[in-house]
Amino acid sequence: MIKLKSVRVVLAASLLSLVLCQANVSAATYKVAANDSLYKISKLFKTTVSAIKKTNNLKSDTIQKGQKLTISAKIYTVKQGDTLNNIAKANKISLSNLRKANNKYNDTLKIGQKLILPGIKATAKTTAVAKTTATSAKVEAASSKAVIKYTQKEKDLLARLITAEATGQPYKAMVAIGGVVVNRVQSKEWPDTITAVINDVPGGYYQFTPVKNGYIKKPASDIAIKAAGEALLGADPSKGAMFYFDDSSTNEWLWAKPQTAKFGNMVFVK
């Protein structure tokens, strides 16, 4: 941790999103339509309600219009000369089901456009992609409960910082370091993303030593990833701290600040 010297530079945050994989066989994202039910959707895609609930981590049968559901199904890439009718016939599905699965009620198609082929069983490769997409959906759900916006890359970055700064220190020290980063993101005095906060170098002064010495590039430990997750969900043993440092530091400026917590060798101050 290094002392702040000057004006912050704010970087734009990245948004977590789900996308259809660019392959002829993949996991599909189905957008719930008016009057839909899990039962109707299961019939459309020739699957079960329980399978849909498990894949999407649903606790009840309640769904809402516009909600996105991960469904294991083939994805077709439109080629020159294709029509909806020809695609439906070639894949032995009804035109009405093809339209419904894709919310496509006109006949306009573009080369390269992706269409869900409902009811066609997925291959092993498809299943693997579906699980990956479902995992992304769960991550997005967890992110929506977080106290700040973040991407998976930013969570990994935060966990790598914690690993570099607090390996061998108590678990609370790890969560508290994550808390300091979250506190800065939430403050108007600092950048507003995890990436920008950790890589902040105002006036040429690094805010976090691992960024300067390169230790930030080392893989995150499992316990640091867990600590980062807790901090992102609002856990803050640092009690609102904006700085932390090792108790061997001789930096009088840091020692003069109000201390909020201490875990192992890590001191946290405002």
The CATH number of the domain where 74 resides is what?
A: 3.10.350.10
Q: Is the pLDDT of residue 35 over 80?
A: yes
Cα separation of 104 and 33, whole Å? 12
From residue 118, how far is each of 75, 76, 81, 145 by CA, in Å?
9, 10, 21, 32
What is the CA 261 to chain-centroid distance, rounded?
A: 30
Share of the chain above pLDDT 90, in %: 68
Query: What burial letters (b/e) apply to 235-244, b meaning 16+ CB within 10 Å?
Result: bbbbeebbbb
- CA 214, CA 198: separation in Å to the nearest integer? 12
Q: State the distance between the two ends of the chain, measured CA to CA, in whole angstroms.
A: 13
DSSP 114: E
Pick the residue with more confidence: 202 or 220? 220
How many domains does the chain fold into? 2
CA distance 92 to 133: 26
Summarize the confidence of residues 46-72 as an average pLDDT: 90
> 28 falls in which pLDDT band (50, 70, 90)?
confident
Structure-model confidence comparison of residues 127 and 155, the more confident one:
155
Task: Verify that 54 and 123 share a domain, yes or no.
Answer: yes
Domain boundary among 144, 170, 203: 144
- Indicate the residue among 110, 144, 178 that finishes a domain: 144
Q: How far apart are CA 19 and CA 23, in angstroms?
A: 12
Q: Across the chain, what does the average pLDDT equal? A: 84
In a domain, 1, yes or no: no
Neighbours of 59 (CB within 10 A): 6
Q: Quick check: 176 pLDDT over 50?
A: yes
Helical (H) or strand (E) element with 68: strand 68-77
Final residue of a structural domain among 144, 160, 182: 144
Is the pTM above the cut of 0.75? no
Q: Which domain holds residue 42?
A: 25-144
Same domain, 132 and 197: no
CA distance 131 to 160: 26
List of residues 6+ apart from 5 with CB closer than 8 A: 202, 203, 204, 205
2 assigned to some structural domain = no
Check whether residue 170 and residue 135 sit in a common domain. Answer: no
